[in-house]
Structure 1
Amino acid sequence: MKNIFKYLNDSESYFQFCMKFFFTMTTINHTKDFEVTKSKTGNHRIWIPVVAWNWAYYTVVVFISERSSEVEDICVSSSRSLLLIRMAKLGLLSRIYNFRIGVKAKQAFRVTTGPTVQRLGLNLQIRAMSDAPSGEASSIDKHIVYSRHKDFDLRSQTVVQRFFERASMWPNLTATECGLTGRKYTYGKLRDLTRNFGSALVRMGFKRGEVFGMVLPNLPEFPIILLGAAGIGMPVTTVNPIYNVEEIARQLQLSGATVVVTISELAGTLRQVAQLCPEIRRLIVVGKPEEGFASFGEMLQDPGNLFDENIEINPMEDVFALPFSSGTTGLPKGVMLSNANVTANIQQLLHPTAMKLTTPPPTRHETDVLQEVYVCILPFFHMYGMVGVMLTGLDLGAKMVILPRFEGDSYVNSLHQHHPSTLHLVPPLVLFLGHRPDLKLDAFRRLHTVAIGAAPLGLAVATRFVERFQKHDLLMQEGCGMTETTSVTHLSPVINNQIGSFGEPLSRTKVKVLDVDTGESLGPGQHGEMCVSGPQVMKGYYKNPKATEETIDSDGWLHTGDMVYYNEQNQFFIVDRLKELIKVKGLQVSPSELEDILRRHPGVLDVAVIGVPDDAAGELPRAYVVKKPGVALSKEEIAEFVDAKVSHHKKLKGGVHFLDAIPKTNTGKILRRELKIMSQ
């Protein structure tokens, strides 16, 4: 190595040197360590940061194409400062795995891929991303749809840091309020209690990297718990509280949660769960004291001195949330959402040209009258509720009136009392409000936006709502997203004349539609699978690289499994879902999970489950069953067998039908499309 610099002026010799040492270099698997650039001539480069032993020199010398295993380019970069890499203008952070690198140095060195590299490169990565318009992202595909919204600046901060910064602007305004009891927290109090709760967790012995489990309904204290745990570096996995013991245990086992919080009403369930999850060291209860549980109320009395606001958390790499999703197919998997994923999606949703506000965000000198007001009914354990409603609301300085569950009377009462400015709904709730006779027009006197997700909104439903409440200037804003994209990728424009479209790409988001047979990018009006890329796209599935590779390709495109098309105005429309997932009132139901249960029945030979349309729920699960020869089996027996083992929304409310054979391909894959046709 001592004569390495003699090669710098001889590109051929330098190339030979790189190839000679290429196969001896360390493999880096940290996806965020890669940056993809594209020159005006169309050449692509992959920049990989490496730090030298003496913190003085490091150099990337080889760029490799994963698909072709060919050297595409060679580049040298060195510096004597701590910001060691000279980065060209960035397009996107690429998720490309197992690239080999060569390094040079004047003296002994080592390659590191841990926090040191991440720390050194972070600020420069953020700055480069901010300077590079998303339209310049690296890609050679045709027909890519770019966002029309101006790029926002990506900042190097965690979700908790961002919340503390925003809360300090309006500490005396109400942040959360219980819609049933009226108990409330100001932004200043929420901030202080977040510190206290995080400090109490540290005092209990929990540390950065351990997973924190939340089995909670919506509560005014939800953000205290979420942000307190995340603030000490604990990824948080949120669990649907209506799950049964086996379902909760499965998620906590897969996530490796070591501490779990719940409400007193679910204490008995969590005791059973803890017996199935030996990694759980502590249970915490919100509400009345329970034997064997730490008291959440007592934890809030912690002085907060162990909460370190300067804790070393890398927003680009460290996981903030670990929700579970079935993805495009299969059983639920943990979705790794980094702090940067979440803060980026918040900024995308609050982009000044993407949303409608009647008043500016409040300052510490303004009053509650100017606040945006949300009545929160969508579950916070779901990413639409957590990011699209709660965290976005906190960032905006909104007052959030929180209901633990949907109950028609209490929901209507909250609307009458608090006069929301924005409603976050799913289509069945829009339908409910449009047909609720006791809902007065005055409840919506401040309402300017209805944000709809989870399923397309029908024109008739939207029209009835607007006419019923005489809100002809109301923005009915539809959106689209998935857990794997933090919450949202598309939002319909502020001036929306395309009811039924799920909108256009958010800032820094690009989209393409692929032919499902050829993989070719398609133009307007052509049906294909939607793929998205942007800063809100997940890091990957937790401890499941195979599923990650099946969902995110080597160029960083996430394949959604949704069949869509877009028009000349870049408005997107859903056609169908390639994926098998069923959505019941916005909640995911995995056909594979129900099929696995049904196959355990001694009288079932074969089975397939699909979703069938339902006006109120969106979809309902329906089972097609092949009985074993000579077995007497009723539809009711099948339904009861499943119902006893699953949550309410997973029950076979779509019915049970018997078939002689399940339609399948030659390779044995279920032809669900034929079953869909059969169900019509």
Structure 2
Amino acid sequence: MTGRVLKDNFSRRYYDNGIWKGPTINPPLGHYKYGEVLLKSMKKNTELIGQTQASTGKEDSFGEILDRTIRCALWLKKQNIKPGDVIGICTQHHLNHITPIVASLFIGSIINPWWDDMEEEQIKYFIELTDPKVVFISEKNVSFIQNTIKKTGINIKIIVFGSVDGLESFDDILKAQSAEEVKKFQCTTVESANKPAIIIYTSGTTGKSKGVLHSYHSIANNCEFIPIDLMKGSRGMCNSQIAWISGIVNPLRAIEYGANIIITSDMSEADSFRLIEKYKASCIDWVIMGTGTADRMSKTCFINSLDYSTVKFVCVGGAVVKKNVTEFIENIFPNGKIQQSYGATELCGIVTQTEVNQHINSCGRVLANAEIKIMSAGDGKKILGPNEEGELYVKSSCVMLCYYKNPNATMKVLDSENWFHSGDLGYYNESGEFFIIDRITELIRSQSDYIAPGPIEEIIHRHPNVVGVAVIAKSNENNIEQPMAFVVKSSGATVTEEEIINFVKENIQEKFHLKGGVKFIDKLPLTQSGKISKITLREIAKRIAHEF
């Protein structure tokens, strides 16, 4: 066990000179040897089901997962992969995707998950940044990535999930390991808590993605998205890609506590929504979803006809959750505790969590081993009090080691006292609930005022003929920024620009009005992490401005 405790996380927090502090919980000696923790858990739960492929119904026991993971770890060691070496993985979810990730923890190396829909320049950037010794790649992506690797001139071993002529398959490397070797396997000892464990990329919403380096301590000791008591022996859904921190942490916790994860990557999102009802008889206990998924779910017409009454816990995160979306999620999961949190890739997960009877747009109160303060935005010189808006600074035992090979970027967000400067605008109330308004870089600078796009987006999202919206800054002829909305209509809807502009006017004060206009588009551009790419939208807005 890693010694994490959640029950008292809220009751033992306190406020000290403008800083909200969670309780300090010291982990037991050797807690960071997380590969050993997972190995022990799988040996204990060999007969329990650990994974289910939703489309086929195929089940995988922890004993089967363990056997494949040890075989993968043995192969990696035979390739002379050592602690500190980087292992890349680029694939969607399937019954084998977790295997190299856990195998990397078994041998003390660094796992580096990629998005599975990248362009050539981004692949080159990842390869040149991390210099992986081996990359595990899905069959659908391997030819493209192989050709890109050749252009870099870097010698990298490629293993394919599936079968491709001329390449070694994942199945082949497993079969090459003997039963006797599997039986005798022991994890490589991780020498200290701060040894690097994973490089995971930032979303890239404001520029090039940075590689966030986390330690074995952070992976082993971050706060759970799902309460431990509920996770044990449960069944759940987590659609987060492996390139998201939630897509790493939650499957590892499922292994640690003997939970069965339903894998849905080869299904459409609409079919995955129906899946919860399909498993009603045998019960899906918990669901983890991104805010984008929650938004789309709230605009999906058949959802209200489905029965989600067996779900006990729902975690929504990734960005600010709109009030109407939260209300929708609460209605369709009538017996589920709906949890919102605040976290970041750099924090290895979450540092706040909501409780019962908190404000609907709150992201909760500070968790164990974390501290949060609000500093004046821009200069960071003044610590602010309740209901004063500023930048969230976070201190956490699970904060990143650094941005990988990027000391300048690291110095900009981690100060000398190890406070992480989040770049998020927010505030807290008198009872210590935190509220996120927007990214500071997304604020619209209109003359002497700052306008957050979030409140405008929330209003437009309520419109019955709108399924997607993003608000950005558009400069007028006097170089003054004004709010402009990019809107995705519902299928067959005839809503007009004027109607959207008036809808906003009727529901919010004048400074938030859409003086930059409305542009209808078929779909919003997304980053690989699934967040709206406002950089792309700002470029579109510039082109529109030049046309007039």
1-structure distance, mates of 2:376, 2:258: 43
Corresponding residue of 1:210: 85
2-structure distance, mates of 1:318, 1:292: 36
Corresponding residue of 1:355: 227
The structure whose Rg is larger is 1
Q: 1:580 to 1:326 in 2, by over 3 A?
A: farther
Give unpaired runs (5+ residues) of structure 2: 4-8, 445-452, 462-466, 478-520
Corresponding residue of 1:422: 286
Q: Letter of the aligned partner of 1:420 in structure 2?
A: I
1-structure distance, mates of 2:27, 2:308: 34
1-structure distance, mates of 2:314, 2:72: 34
Q: 1:455 aligns with which of 319, 343, 360?
A: 319
Q: Is the 8 A contact 2:289 2:316 kept in 1?
A: yes
Q: Letter of the aligned partner of 1:259 in structure 2?
A: V
- Post-superposition offset of 1:443: 4.5
- TM-score if structure 2 supplies the norm length? 0.76
Corresponding residue of 1:143: 18
2:135 paired with 1:271: no
Partner-residue secondary structure (3-state), 2:350: coil
2:176 paired with 1:292: no
Q: 1:619 to 1:378 in 2, by over 3 A?
A: farther
2:405 paired with 1:528: no
Q: 1:492 aligns with which of 326, 336, 354?
A: 354
- Larger displacement relative to structure 2 (152-161 or 537-546): 152-161
2:365 paired with 1:504: yes
Corresponding residue of 1:466: 330
2-structure distance, mates of 1:329, 1:459: 25
Q: Is the 8 A contact 1:211 1:256 kept in 2?
A: yes
Q: Letter of the aligned partner of 2:405 in structure 1?
A: K
Q: 1:234 aligns with which of 84, 109, 118?
A: 109
Q: Is the 8 A contact 1:232 1:308 kept in 2?
A: no
Matches within 5 A, 1:147-162: 147=22, 151=25, 153-156=27-30, 157-162=32-37
2:40 paired with 1:165: yes
Number of residue pairs aligned between Structure 1 and Structure 2: 467
Q: 1:379 to 1:620 in 2, by over 3 A?
A: farther
1-structure distance, mates of 2:158, 2:543: 47
2:58 paired with 1:183: yes
Q: Is the 8 A contact 1:178 1:401 kept in 2?
A: yes
Q: 1:190 to 1:245 in 2, by over 3 A?
A: same
Corresponding residue of 1:657: 541
Q: Is the 8 A contact 2:201 2:210 kept in 1?
A: yes
Note the alpha carbon deviations across 1:270-318, whole angstroms, 9 max, x for none.
122211333342100001x213321101122222738853423234122
Note the alpha carbon deviations across 1:500-543, whole angstroms, 9 max, x for none.
11111221111111123352222211111111112210111112
Q: 1:292 to 1:565 in 2, by over 3 A?
A: same
- Post-superposition offset of 1:498: 1.6
Q: Letter of the aligned partner of 1:213 in structure 2?
A: G
Partner-residue secondary structure (3-state), 1:300: helix
Q: CA RMSD in A?
A: 3.8
- Post-superposition offset of 1:655: 7.0
Q: Is the 8 A contact 1:143 1:523 kept in 2?
A: yes
1-structure distance, mates of 2:219, 2:358: 29
1-structure distance, mates of 2:83, 2:353: 35
Report the identity percentage.
Answer: 21
Partner-residue secondary structure (3-state), 1:270: helix
Q: 2:262 aligns with which of 401, 404, 412?
A: 401
Corresponding residue of 1:198: 73
2-structure distance, mates of 1:646, 1:174: 31
2:323 paired with 1:476: no
Corresponding residue of 1:325: 202
Q: Letter of the aligned partner of 1:316 in structure 2?
A: A
Note the alpha carbon deviations across 1:299-356, whole angstroms, 9 max, x for none.
22222738853423234122111012268965222111111011111xx216xxx838
Q: 1:580 to 1:394 in 2, by over 3 A?
A: farther
- Post-superposition offset of 1:617: 5.6
2-structure distance, mates of 1:461, 1:185: 34
Partner-residue secondary structure (3-state), 1:272: helix
Q: Is the 8 A contact 1:492 1:501 kept in 2?
A: yes
Note the alpha carbon deviations across 1:554-612, whole angstroms, 9 max, x for none.
11111111111001111100122224699xxxxxxxxxxxxxxxxxxxxxxxxxxx999
Partner-residue secondary structure (3-state), 1:538: coil
Q: Is the 8 A contact 2:314 2:336 kept in 1?
A: yes
2-structure distance, mates of 1:323, 1:409: 28
Partner-residue secondary structure (3-state), 1:260: strand
Q: 1:330 to 1:464 in 2, by over 3 A?
A: closer
Corresponding residue of 1:174: 49
1-structure distance, mates of 2:204, 2:293: 25
Q: Letter of the aligned partner of 2:218 in structure 1?
A: N
Give unpaired runs (5+ residues) of structure 1: 1-125, 128-132, 362-370, 583-609, 627-638, 663-680
Q: Letter of the aligned partner of 1:297 in structure 2?
A: D
1-structure distance, mates of 2:324, 2:409: 39
2:416 paired with 1:554: yes
Considering Cα pairs closer than 8 Å and 6+ residues apart, tell me whether 1 or 2 has the greater RCO: 2
Q: Letter of the aligned partner of 1:293 in structure 2?
A: L
Q: 1:332 to 1:652 in 2, by over 3 A?
A: closer
1-structure distance, mates of 2:544, 2:303: 50
Matches within 5 A, 1:592-671: 613=457, 615=461, 616=467, 619=470, 650=533, 652=536, 656-658=540-542
1-structure distance, mates of 2:361, 2:409: 31
Q: Is the 8 A contact 1:320 1:338 kept in 2?
A: yes
Matches within 5 A, 1:28-427: 142-147=17-22, 151=25, 153-156=27-30, 157-287=32-162, 289-301=163-175, 302-303=177-178, 305=181, 309-325=186-202, 330-345=207-222, 348-349=223-224, 355=227, 361=232, 371-387=233-249, 389-404=250-265, 407-418=268-279, 419-427=283-291
Partner-residue secondary structure (3-state), 2:541: strand
- Post-superposition offset of 1:167: 2.1
Corresponding residue of 1:593: none
2-structure distance, mates of 1:267, 1:625: 46
- TM-score if structure 1 supplies the norm length? 0.62
